[in-house]
Structure 1
Amino acid sequence: MQDFVKRYFWVLGAVVVMVCSLFAAKATGHILEAKFLGDPAHGPKIVAAPQPTTTTAKPRHDKDGTQMEKRNMFCSDCTPPVATTPTNTDPSSITNTSLPLVLVATNVAPTDKDSYATVINTESQRQGAFGVGDQLPGASGKVKEIHYKYVDFENSGRIERLVLVGVTPPPTPVASAEPTPTPTGEGDDLQASIDNGIKKIDDSTYEIDKKLVDQVLANPMAVAKGARVVPAVKNGKPDGFKLYAIRPSSVYAKLGLTNGDTIQSINGFELTTADKALEVYTKLREATSLEMEVTRRGKPVTLKYTIR
């Protein structure tokens, strides 16, 4: 079971078609990070690389007078510094990938053959666990290195980097960056779609425009920052996902969710284990009506959604 969770507990994606496509990636990332990355006792020891230091040469006596020429005759303790070779420590020397890939989690082992990364292609919805030498979905080359917070792989004849979801990637070097055109007002268009695409019928019933659902499914990370989603634990066992810091203009608020809500299940499927999450995603991605069970201030609340 543990091996199954490691390999297949990826982004919950569009569990609620709309809702879970927004927060599942972040929530699943938190679970996997806490399970596999948060406990230093289960990971290989990391030793910080020593920083290069400037050293001074020890006094040496010679017979040709060279040392006397180089030394300061007015300072007997002064010796000429030894020149050091500068090292390139630029962390952004590798280009961040522009492919529609999301790195959900990594499992770094002492050997490359036992290390793997869980990756999903948000366009084709292909996902899985990939090791060194495997080809990521949508990439033309193979995985070169797997680290705790990023994966380096070959694509289009060069090495590109995919950073763990939730981790801010370093700035891409100007020399190797490829300009990606961004439509003017893209964020404003998405916010307008959210405002116009969700209709509140009453406090527990909502209608969602199918076009908005398709737009969110195509780019779920665009709205993932509207709230903080963390795994809920009760009596030492997984108990859904809890929401904090919901922005008033976010899709979470538009769908009737409030700070402190704990999402327990969707259409009767509990969001507790890896196989349950995968089952929910598979069965509900094309659903047209949804019922979400939420615990709010200790009381159960049912939110109903119709997709038109």
Structure 2
Amino acid sequence: MKLGKFNLVRQKRLAQFALYGFLLFLAFSIADLTIIYIRDLMLPSEAPPQKTAKMNPQQFIDRNQFTGISSRNLFSSTGIMPEAITLKQDDTQKEDIPILSALPLNLIGTLVHSDPSKSIAAIEVKSKNLTGSFTPGSDVEGLARVERIERGIAYIRNNNTNALEYIELKSAGKVSFDASKAAAVAPAASKDVKAIAPNRFQIKRSDLLKYTNDLSSVLMQARAVPNRDPATGEINGFRLLDLQENSIFGQLGLARMDILQSVNGERIDSIQKAMETYNAMKNGNKIELGVVRNGKTEVMTYEITQ
């Protein structure tokens, strides 16, 4: 009895699902037929209007604009080879030929940099009894302007005559700061510097002037490079990479790998500053040289005697 009731309920449910499925199929069929019927009515009966493209007026180029090109054509039908393009110079544009300067200037030394604008010449102005360091473009006490600096020679432009002149070292020596080797020069034959205590020395003024007036030979006795601060990258001195045996640097108590940082408290942070400090030592009675050796700062004291 119970089994019969269960089958009856099951048959009713199946009949309901069959009815729903039939109605759903019927709805899809009606919708499809409707779309087929009205599809042709939805299509446009006429083509869309055409848009006319905007035409920019043609720009005509004058043929004369290409005259420069056509005149240089080596394969033109005329077969005429055009003249070579050369820079036309008049008499005022001809390259100047430098002449030996008669100005009261004396070239003491030169430092040639790989960048010509950073080269330095130490020049003594005899009329004013002063010495200075000059780079290309610098004015030399109103007398001349430095044009360029080469090995052992400085080219200057005379401010009065505008002529290109030159001054040169009395000796053939010159130091290139970037040179891989220091030139061989004769070291000091005798000791001119006397050690009186640790890091304390004496030197006669006449001997001091002998070296300061011959900057080229002095610099050739050693090779130095800029030393840079590892934190900032700025130059904080100059490191001595090599010294000649019995050179003046050895007499001054300096050694290889020493870093020269200051002279009389003045920091040496550029080649020009080093040159200026070097020239300023002529008139001093005492020189204190700040040196970093093996990571420790030492002060070398030099007393100038008469």
Task: Tell me the TM-score normalised to structure 2 length.
Answer: 0.46
After TM superposition, the score normalised by the length of structure 1 is 0.46
Greater relative contact order: 1 or 2 (C-alpha under 8 angstroms, separation 6 or more)?
1
Give 1 or 2 for the bigger CA radius of gyration: 2
